[in-house]
Amino acid sequence: MNATPTHEIVVLGAGYTGMLAAVRLAHRTRRMPVHITLVNPSERFTERLRSHQIATGQELADLRIPDALAGTGIEFRRGWVTAIDTATRRVTLDDTTDLPYDTLVYALGSSTDTTRVPGAAEHAWTLNTPQFAHGFAERLAALAETGGTVTVVGAGLTGIEAATEIADSHPGVEVTMISSGEPGAMMGPKARAHLVRALDRFGIHRLVGVQVTKVLPDSVELDTGEVLPSDLVLWTAGVRAPALAAAAGITTDTRGAIVTDPTLRSVSHPEVYAVGDAASVRQPWGYIHGTCQSGMPIGAYVADTIARRLRGKDVKPFRFGYIHQPVSLGRKDGVIQFTRGDDTPGPWYLTGRAAVLYKEFVSSSPWPTFRLSRRIAVPAKFSTGARAAARATEVAA
């Protein structure tokens, strides 16, 4: 009697979404003939929620991916993915080895897009990797000794957190934010007012309604014709997904993210699941934008869905609603805007010390969730701060 063949699952990327998908899937399939391989360039887990802290020279905990995988049976492969062959269902790594797959989980995330503005890729810094963030921190520390100027391009959550962290950590540095829209425009008026007061308190200059047209070694050019001197430029505007999926012939959107069906499978290659920032996921209210808040439930859903399909069971479409917009404003302040499911602002918000504690809870929750998920299927809401949001809303009420 022939043994049941092993089903090979390869997970590309060990960020928030890929890690949870891999560990939860291992738990869900522990009694099945399934082999899971997790591929990531580094053994150290990257806390992207804390990238702004790295950029100001703060040391983070040394979290090791193999430690979180201990006892799961997952094979960890350290390396870069260089190609995906959908015809033969194989993934090629930078050491030229190939990994066969029956199911592929594409969790390669996204990065800040510096390709659209001349000079941005050459002269601006990003927080795309810990290495870039550390490099920026070194330059910032040297600049702070004599005083200088830092320009943060973009006023989304990343731009706001980076600008306030820089101003808080290095008060002698002059910080300017440049954006097409108002900082905190996605928040309600009261939460936004607190954010604006914090920017004023830190002395952060804002140029709103303008765009950078060129980045030079020591300045930026604006669409107004003005040239703004800048010793350091941090680019946080715009995102793009890796080119691997498009190069493999997988259907992607304009950002390079894989277009998915209601169960997060590729619309062109159903053996490929896309999760996190690398997935184009549509909900009844619109498209999900990449955050840890959405990524963790996506990772949990895909793990459960793959396991159910391997057992021949039906699956339900993915459904998700946002609950909050948590923003750090330096180390001693913050603002949390609680939201409706479509990410529009609701009536409740937190500021000050309460917001700091809340944001720390959100930022620190993924790693314990990974470790706990080795033994039990942790409800996805626990990893997004939903319980804390409910409690905080009750207190605010």
Domain chopping of the chain, boundaries? 7-110+241-396, 114-237
pLDDT range class, residue 381, cuts 50, 70, 90: low
pLDDT range class, residue 292, cuts 50, 70, 90: confident
Instruction: Name residues whose C-beta falls within 8 Å of residue 84's C-beta, 6 or more positions apart in sequence.
Output: 90, 91, 92, 104, 244, 245, 247, 248, 250
Is the pLDDT assigned to residue 355 strictly greater than 50?
yes
Instruction: Name residues whose C-beta falls within 8 Å of residue 252's C-beta, 6 or more positions apart in sequence.
Output: 241, 245, 246, 258, 259, 280
Read off the pLDDT of residues 81-124 as tens digits, 9 standing for 90 and up. Answer: 999 999 999 999 999 999 999 999 999 999 999 999 999 999 99
Average pLDDT over the chain, rounded to an integer:
93
**Domains 7-110+241-396 and 114-237 agree in fold:** yes
The CATH number fitting domain 7-110+241-396, selected from 3.40.50.1700, 3.30.1360.120, 3.40.50.720, 3.50.50.100: 3.50.50.100
Is the pLDDT assigned to residue 395 strictly greater than 90?
no
pLDDT for the residue 385: 39
> Which class is domain 114-237?
alpha beta
Is the pLDDT assigned to residue 393 strictly greater than 50?
no
Question: Which tokens is 87 given?
Answer: 């015809």
pLDDT for the residue 3: 65
Read off the pLDDT of residues 312-338 as tens digits, 9 standing for 90 and up. Answer: 999 999 999 999 999 999 999 999 999
Is the pLDDT assigned to residue 30 strictly greater than 70?
yes
pLDDT for the residue 133: 97
Is the pLDDT assigned to residue 261 strictly greater than 90?
yes
CB 338 within 8 A of CB 324: yes
Is the pLDDT assigned to residue 50 strictly greater than 90?
yes
Beta carbons within 10 angstroms of residue 132's beta carbon: 18
Is the pLDDT assigned to residue 125 strictly greater than 90?
yes
Backbone angles phi, psi at 128, to 5 degrees: -65, -30
What mean pLDDT do residues 218-228 have?
A: 97
| H or E element, residue 293 | helix 292-310
| Closest of 277, 305, 240, 238 to residue 103, by C-alpha | 305
CB 280 within 8 A of CB 293: no
- Percent of the residues in the chain that have a pLDDT greater than 90, as a whole number: 91
